[in-house]
Structure 1
C-alpha cells in the first residue's frame, strides 16, 4: 500500500489554509499519498493525526518565533505564525517520539531542529560577520543558484549519490546549532548549514533549500529525497 504522508500548511490572513501544490505533486510522484494537515491545538486530535500518517513532510513558510529557542526578536525577524509554530512543535515532537520518517524543507528544516532542542539564526545577514552568498535568490524557484557540499557516508550522501550539487535558495533564517543527536551533512561555500540528519532516528532529514520546486524540472537530487522519504515509510 502507498504510505500516507502528512504535509504541514500555512495560515494565510488568519482564515485560509495553504500549501504549495509542488509539495503535493512531489509526494505523489514519489509514490506517496499526500494529506494536508491543518494547524490545530487539540493534542488528542494531533495524536490521532500521528497515528494516521506513515511519514511527515514539514514544509517551508515564514519565520519561527525565536522565543521558542530562548531568544527575543531581532529587528530583522520576519512574519511569525504562533498557531503554526505551536502545532508543528507538537506534531514534530510526536513524530520523533514515534520514530516515523520525516523530511523538513527550509522552515521545516528549522522547526524540526528547534523541536529537538537546537536553535537558529534569526537573520543570517545581520548575524554573520563575513560576507554571505545570496540565500534569497531573485531567480525563479525552479532555478538552482548555489552549490552545497555533502558529507560523505551520510544518509543524505547515500540518498543523492553525490558530494556536491546546486540547489535553490529562499531563506534568511538558518540552523545555527543542531540538536543533540543530529549531524550536519551539508553546507554552502559560505558555511551556512544546508542539511542535517538524525543519528538516533530511522529517517529524519532537514534541508534548507526547496527540493519540491525542483522536482517538476526533473532535478534528480530532489526526486531522490522524496523517494527516500516514501521508501523509509515502507521499512
Structure 2
C-alpha cells in the first residue's frame, strides 16, 4: 500500500514533519512524499499508483483560487504547491480514492472541490466571538472542544459527539459544496471538519490529529486507522 504525502517549506527544498510520517505508519500505511508536478499525464499516472491521498498542514492558500483577492491578513503562499495538490485531489476524487486532509490540507481539499474559505478569521469575523485558534501552547495540547455531527463519517470513526483538539490556524473553511457536509464545528461556529456524502472516504479536519495519536484516550489514531482501512478496501 502506498500513500501520497506532501509538504514543502520554501522554494528550495521539500521536507515533512515526522509526526505526519509516524501517524501514517502507526496506522498501518506506507507514506510516500511526492514533489510538485505540472504535467497532467504525470499527475494521473502517479495518482493511479497510489491508494490514498494525505494532505498535511502548511502555509496559506492563494485566494484567487476561490475568486478572491489577497487581504492584509493573508500569510505566505506557495502557488506551485496549491496547483499540484488541487490536481492531485481532482484525480483522487475522480477515481473515488480516500483523501484525508488536516489543517491546510482540509482547506485545500475544500477549495479543490469548489468550496470557499476565510483568508484570515481574525480580520474577517467578529473577534469578540472567536476562540483562540492559534494556540500558544505545545503542539500536543488540546485547547478547545469540537462538536461532531452524529450522522457522519467522523462520528463513525471517533464514536464521540465531542472531542478536545489542538488548534494552529488563522484560515478556515467557510462554505462546502454540494455532496459535502460540515460534520464538526467549534463552539464559536468555526468549521472544524467536513466530509463527502458521495464518496467512500473524503474527510478534512481543521486540527492536527497527528500531534495527538500518542494519547490512548484520543480518537486521532482511529481516524488514521479508518483512513488506512479505506485505502486497503
Same fold, TM-score > 0.5, yes or no: yes
Q: Indicate the residue corresponding to 1:233 in structure 2.
A: 231
In structure 2, which of residues 29, 40, 56 is the aligned counterpart of residue 32 of structure 1?
A: 29
SS, match of residue 169 in structure 1: coil
The 1:89–1:68 alpha-carbon spacing in structure 2 relative to 1, beyond 3 Å, is: same
Q: Indicate the residue corresponding to 1:70 in structure 2.
A: 67
Q: Indicate the residue corresponding to 2:77 in structure 1.
A: 80
**What do you get for the CA RMSD once the two structures are aligned?**
1.0
Give 5+ residue unaligned stretches, structure 1. Answer: none
State the 4+ residue runs in structure 1 displaced beyond 2 angstroms. Answer: 216-220
The Cα shift of 1:45 comes to 1.6
The Cα shift of 1:179 comes to 1.8
Q: Indicate the residue corresponding to 1:153 in structure 2.
A: 151
Q: Indicate the residue corresponding to 1:96 in structure 2.
A: 93
CA distance, structure 2, for counterparts of residue 169 and residue 24 of structure 1: 19
CA distance, structure 1, for counterparts of residue 48 and residue 217 of structure 2: 32
Q: Check whether the contact 1:11–1:84 (CA below 8 A) recurs between aligned residues.
A: no
2:169 aligned with 1:171? yes
In structure 1, which of residues 192, 195, 200 is the aligned counterpart of residue 193 of structure 2?
A: 195
**Which deviates the most, 145-154 or 211-220?**
211-220
Q: Check whether the contact 1:116–1:180 (CA below 8 A) recurs between aligned residues.
A: no
The Cα shift of 1:190 comes to 0.4
Q: Indicate the residue corresponding to 1:125 in structure 2.
A: 122
In structure 2, which of residues 104, 109, 113 is the aligned counterpart of residue 107 of structure 1?
A: 104
Give 5+ residue unaligned stretches, structure 2. Answer: none
Matched pairs, number:
232
Q: TM-score, normalised by structure 1?
A: 0.96
SS, match of residue 10 in structure 1: coil
SS, match of residue 56 in structure 1: strand
In structure 1, which of residues 131, 134, 141 is the aligned counterpart of residue 132 of structure 2?
A: 134
CA distance, structure 2, for counterparts of residue 39 and residue 80 of structure 1: 14
Q: Check whether the contact 2:9–2:58 (CA below 8 A) recurs between aligned residues.
A: no
The Cα shift of 1:219 comes to 5.2
CA distance, structure 2, for counterparts of residue 23 and residue 53 of structure 1: 17
